[in-house]
Amino acid sequence: MRVHRRHVGIHADADGAAPHLPRRRSRRTRHEDQGGQHPEHHWRPHRFLLWVTAGDRSRAQVVTWEPVSASDYPEIRAELRERIQQDPWAAALGIQYLDLRRGYCRVRLRLQPHMVNFQGYPHGSVIFALADVAFGAACNSHGEAAVALNVTIAFLDAVTPDATLIAEGREKKQGRRAGFYEIEVTTEDGAPVALAHCVAHRVGR
């Protein structure tokens, strides 16, 4: 069996930051390129077209490559990063932004004594808020306003009241309006705490 691979319509942003798949340029996009403020380019993972040959039969198979590490996600504009990181709610909770890229966000929160419930464990709403901040930053990192449509969270394990938590949000798929994200909450040493699945809606289209 022989396998042949070639790229399918991949090109990079103007600054060469990361590849994205071409799409039809709308009238609105062309107008914005002529001087109006336009959002970040829509970015999607690599796609490869594999030709698999077995005997006298061949077939094509499209394989998608997804980012593995944070550095695989494209950088965003400095002014957009600053605007997102000035979130008042995140500041009130003491959440720190560790990394923010297009479709990706990593934040940290050191739990405080007033963040526990009557049982002495960190309150679930605090863990949810940390995941939600990572989600909100990741889904707005394209430069277009997005709001939450749905968030479901599973609490996997309890943590100590003085723990430091990390939330890492990753874009799984971005359509024309809806975006799908997965947020992992862990301790600093990587122990799982919670897992959230989120859907965002772009309001500017």
Structure tokens given for 57: 């039969």
CATH number, residue 182: 3.10.129.10
The verdict on residue 72 lying in a domain is no
* Mean pLDDT taken over the chain: 79
Q: What is the tally of structural domains in the chain?
A: 2
Residue-range definition of the domain harbouring residue 138 = 78-202
Tell me how far apart the alpha carbons of residues 142 and 74 are, in angstroms, rounded to a whole number.
10
Same domain, yes or no, for 58 and 135?
no
DSSP E strands, the chain: 2-7, 11-12, 19-20, 46-54, 57-65, 96-101, 104-110, 146-155, 164-174, 178-187, 192-202
Question: Given this model, what pLDDT does residue 17 score?
Answer: 45
Provide the residue-wise pLDDT of the chain in tens; the chain has 205 residues: 554 444 444 334 444 444 444 444 444 444 444 444 444 444 445 444 455 556 666 666 554 545 666 777 889 899 999 999 999 999 999 999 999 999 999 999 999 999 999 999 999 999 999 999 999 999 999 999 999 999 999 999 999 999 999 999 999 999 989 999 999 999 999 999 999 999 999 997 5
The answer to whether residues 59 and 148 belong to one domain is no
Do 102 and 19 share a structural domain? Answer: no
| Nearest Cα residue to 87 out of 109, 69, 67, 115 | 109
**Are 190 and 112 members of one domain?**
yes
